[in-house]
Structure 1
Amino acid sequence: MIDDTIAAIATAPGEAGISIIRISGSKAIDILDSIFKTKKEASIRDFSQRRLVYGHIVDREKNKILDEVLAVYMKAPYTYTKEDTVEINCHGGIVPTRNILELVLRKGARMADPGEFTKRAFLNGRIDLAQAEAVIDLIKAKTNKGFDVALSQLEGSISRNIKDIRDIILQTLAHLHVSIDYTEEDIEEITYPQLLSNMEIVKEKIKRLLDTSETGKIIREGLNTVIIGKPNVGKSSLLNALLKESRAIVTDIPGTTRDVIEENLSIRGIPLKIVDTAGIRDTDDIVERMGVERSKEFFNKADLVILVLDASEDLTKEDNEIIELINDRRAIVLLNKTDLPQRVKKEDLQKLLPNKKIIQISILQEKGLNEIEEEIVKMVYGGHIKEMDISFVTNVRHKNSLERAAKSIEEGLEAVKQELPYDLIEVDIKDCYDALGEITGDTVDDNIIDKIFANFCLGK
């Protein structure tokens, strides 16, 4: 039972059109009633809930009006937190917002911890832990696709999948329990083939969720992408073309880019954190050499490497060294300057990089850019996920729990195939059940819950 009342500013700090002070808890309406003065001196309770009411916030002890506001109250349990909730819409300046919050705190509320409103929604059973985590993903979404996925999770897409799997496991555990504890009763025991069938279904459902996790992580956090190549092959021109703006300086002088340039963009709903690097080559210029070293650091951390080569010149030693670097990396190779006479043939390059996608482009003539986007989309979705799907595992914590669940069910399956005693099999199945419960919060540790909500912003 949560018996205290919390308050916080629910809008972003700084100057704006309005600010919202949010109050939740058993004293929320009493606090509003004690500081809110309507035009006709009526109590806020004289007005219907969920209706914005015009009035003033008044510090009655000082007989001072703090601001002209609109206020609304909402009664439990039909609120975000399932508690009595109040929202005060005041002018969006720092002074009125701070003064009203301080008055609310003096009247008996305490300052909310980060994410405490959503935490109360979870603790009061309005949402589960996976849905609560989707709230912060909604706020931090970088693309429409990321927002749609987070909204789907907030509405329970992941939670429903987990519940379906746990229901199958629970039924299996119930049958196992009967078979272990009531062997002398005239009750039909579950057979090894039945166990095998149930557990194979669970294994497949967990696998389907895990298959979406890599794509989901990219949609949530972005694809770390680095553009590499020797100087003057068109790396900065490519960045400008993808951004559709002149972000990087482009000249015919090799070594123009001496440091990395970082930008964010969206390609068909996929967020990219893209880095244009200094050209990788041996140089006596100390500043350029430092840029080359930074380029190598970003290359080592990248999820996707885009190698740009100049098709109008023969491959150099530097080109070949970079080609060797990307052999075991997720990479796209671009043959640029195809508007000029070509010295590098795609088929010859493909022999050096048999497992890499090679795209012929001309940034000057804007040729091949759509093909680059299509290849990135294909890489991210991996062929087994539809681009229009919104059911993804985007959270690393969820992925880790699913991996533990998959390991437990795999060990249980092996025990079934060996027809080991039921009580040994039960342990593995129960571990799987608990691991999945961590995702929705049914079996998660309190310390993990606190850590999750500590990442939220104040007022949410």
Structure 2
Amino acid sequence: MRDFDTIAAIATPPGESGVAMIKISGNDAKAIVSEIFKLKNNDVFLNIRPWKMHYGHIVEYDSGEIIDEVVVSYFKAPKSYTAEDVVEITSHGGYTSSRRILDQVLLRGARPAGPGEFTKRAFLNGRIDLAQAEAVIDIINSKTDQSMKTAMAQSQGRLSKEITNIRERLLNMLAFIEVTVDFPEDDLESATAEKVKCDAEEILHKIETLLKTSGEGKIIRDGLRTVIAGKPNVGKSSLLNTLLMETRAIVTDVPGTTRDVIEEYLNLDGIPVILVDTAGIRDTEDIVERIGVDISKQKLSEADLVLFMLDRSRPIDKEDIEILNRLEYARYIVLLNKTDLDDRLEYDHPVLADAIQVSATNGYGITELKRRIKEMFFAGTVKAGEYSVSNDRHKEALIRASESLKDALVALEENMQLDVVSIDLSASWSYLGEITGDTLQEDLIDKIFSDFCVGK
């Protein structure tokens, strides 16, 4: 019953602001608010019509003392965010007012909402599926317009619709097999096997097409982790400052100035980038600098992309080659920095074949760098608003569904009994259901919503 009692929470961040919102959801939401909300026109809140805004004051139930001037909105079930009765109280911003109003709501019988509990109720009440619910947190966490549009596409059910269509086809295949197995005298097994094989191949192609979007989708959702690497004093921190268009890192002529890792978010033409400036990698006797170098090496192994910087005014040396060797299995772009200097060197090396000439001080070459990143990860164009697989949980479920379909096709090739094939098809259907929440265990559903913020 805990999932269906009346809950309440402050839905806006704490601190000074223009307004704050307290959200209440459940069968008793309207009755609870009616005890502490006095309309300006002396009307009774229990009698007001839904989907309208009402002006008045929240008062203490016992003393009648006015707490704040508010606007209250009532959304009648099932036409609300949670598909339950929902009341939203909009008060002045600030910690004290919103906290006092919430206290009065809780004293009248509501309980504090847990993380993501409003969205969880929308899921439990069938208003949205699990993939759409997860898109809500992606909308909140989105760092660029592109990531926002992609999350919105998922929240509107575009991925869910595709998954549902695939599951319906699998279900029809299972029903077809069941009829064939139940009526062996009709001698339909050979024809059924051929049709099942054709359908399974089509579905497998659809799933693998979805999986191909997972790389781009994850970057749009979580950001492209980009590490700026190189030996000391090649211009890594200057590049960070230029890309951010602000002085975020200290820049000096002294090698080893950067001792710790600096991380910042950057909107690179719609791509959310986690830009990581690292300490220059070299052998050093300085204990603090050595710790920074060790962290830099660790960040290289975690990066989606490495921007390997070379100083155009100095020859490539042993330290540069050692860093390059660490990038053998990484995706990287070589940047020849300090091209603005008169004493830049002209030298030839295989690593420079695709290098980009840049100047971290005046921004030369940054446009080409952005183009190269988009070409490397997005085939040149970042497509917004299209559904894609951006969630690791969804990707894992698709991979397992794909593997089960492949097992079914192997069984068909080996002329195994159709009821054996149906086991693999059922497994694929079940794995896909984990994406929308139809076949996911309750404890895993609770874990997913526990990552949401309170009040959403």
Same fold flag (TM > 0.5): yes
The letter of the residue matching 1:367 is: Y
2:193, 2:418 within 8 Å by CA — same for their partners in 1? Answer: no
- State the shift of 1:254 in Å: 2.3
**Distance (Å, rounded) in 1 between the aligned partners of 2:314 and 2:434:** 56
1:238, 1:363 within 8 Å by CA — same for their partners in 2? Answer: yes
Q: Does 1:138 align with 2:157?
A: no
> What secondary structure does 2:184 align onto?
coil
1:179, 1:190 within 8 Å by CA — same for their partners in 2? Answer: no
- State the shift of 1:108 in Å: 1.7
1:9, 1:101 within 8 Å by CA — same for their partners in 2? Answer: yes
Q: Does 1:155 align with 2:151?
A: no
> What secondary structure does 1:273 align onto?
strand
> What CA deviation, in whole Å up to 9, does each residue of 1:377-408 have, x standing for no partner?
1222257x863462211111111101110110
2:152, 2:385 within 8 Å by CA — same for their partners in 1? Answer: no
1:229, 1:308 within 8 Å by CA — same for their partners in 2? Answer: yes
1:226, 1:298 within 8 Å by CA — same for their partners in 2? Answer: yes
- State the shift of 1:417 in Å: 1.4
**Identical aligned pairs, as a percentage?**
50
Which position in structure 1 is the counterpart of 2:450? Answer: 454
- Sort the Cα spacing of 1:321 and 1:184 in 2 relative to 1 into closer, same or farther, 3 A: same
> What CA deviation, in whole Å up to 9, does each residue of 1:4-24 have, x standing for no partner?
211111111222222111111
- State the shift of 1:89 in Å: 1.2
1:179, 1:189 within 8 Å by CA — same for their partners in 2? Answer: no
Which position in structure 1 is the counterpart of 2:429? Answer: 433
The letter of the residue matching 2:370 is: E
Which position in structure 2 is the counterpart of 1:343? Answer: 345
RMSD value, Cα: 2.0
Which position in structure 2 is the counterpart of 1:10? Answer: 11
**Distance (Å, rounded) in 1 between the aligned partners of 2:161 and 2:92:** 41
The letter of the residue matching 1:71 is: V
Which position in structure 1 is the counterpart of 2:201? Answer: 200
- Sort the Cα spacing of 1:195 and 1:186 in 2 relative to 1 into closer, same or farther, 3 A: closer
Q: Does 1:410 align with 2:411?
A: no
Which position in structure 2 is the counterpart of 1:51? Answer: 52
Which position in structure 1 is the counterpart of 2:91? Answer: 90
Which position in structure 2 is the counterpart of 1:67? Answer: 68
- State the shift of 1:341 in Å: 4.9
Q: TM-score, normalised by structure 1?
A: 0.94
**Distance (Å, rounded) in 2 between the aligned partners of 1:365 and 1:106:** 61
- State the shift of 1:144 in Å: 1.1
The letter of the residue matching 2:184 is: T
Which position in structure 2 is the counterpart of 1:31? Answer: 32
| Structure 1 runs not aligned, ≥5 long | none
> What CA deviation, in whole Å up to 9, does each residue of 1:209-250 have, x standing for no partner?
111112211111112211111122121121111111222222
**Distance (Å, rounded) in 1 between the aligned partners of 2:4 and 2:368:** 59
Q: Does 1:222 align with 2:219?
A: no
- Sort the Cα spacing of 1:230 and 1:104 in 2 relative to 1 into closer, same or farther, 3 A: same
The letter of the residue matching 1:39 is: K
Q: Does 1:366 align with 2:363?
A: yes
The count of aligned residue pairs is 454
- State the shift of 1:69 in Å: 1.2
- State the shift of 1:370 in Å: 0.8
The letter of the residue matching 2:443 is: N
Which position in structure 1 is the counterpart of 2:418? Answer: 422
Please say which of residues 211-220 and 199-208 is displaced more in the overlay: 211-220
> What secondary structure does 1:334 align onto?
strand
- State the shift of 1:300 in Å: 2.1
> What secondary structure does 2:18 align onto?
strand
- Sort the Cα spacing of 1:431 and 1:63 in 2 relative to 1 into closer, same or farther, 3 A: same
Aligned positions of 1:265-284 closer than 5 A = 265-284=266-285
1:8, 1:458 within 8 Å by CA — same for their partners in 2? Answer: yes
| Structure 2 runs not aligned, ≥5 long | none
Q: Does 1:379 align with 2:376?
A: yes
Q: Does 1:80 align with 2:76?
A: no
Q: TM-score, normalised by structure 2?
A: 0.94
> What secondary structure does 2:9 align onto?
strand
2:217, 2:390 within 8 Å by CA — same for their partners in 1? Answer: yes
**Distance (Å, rounded) in 1 between the aligned partners of 2:389 and 2:273:** 18
The letter of the residue matching 1:300 is: S
Q: Work out which of the residue numbers 393, 398, 411 in structure 2 matches 1:397.
A: 393
- State the shift of 1:44 in Å: 1.6
The letter of the residue matching 1:444 is: L
- State the shift of 1:193 in Å: 2.3
1:315, 1:344 within 8 Å by CA — same for their partners in 2? Answer: no
The letter of the residue matching 1:343 is: L
The letter of the residue matching 1:333 is: V
**Distance (Å, rounded) in 2 between the aligned partners of 1:264 and 1:3:** 39
2:25, 2:86 within 8 Å by CA — same for their partners in 1? Answer: yes
**Distance (Å, rounded) in 2 between the aligned partners of 1:154 and 1:227:** 34
1:175, 1:189 within 8 Å by CA — same for their partners in 2? Answer: no
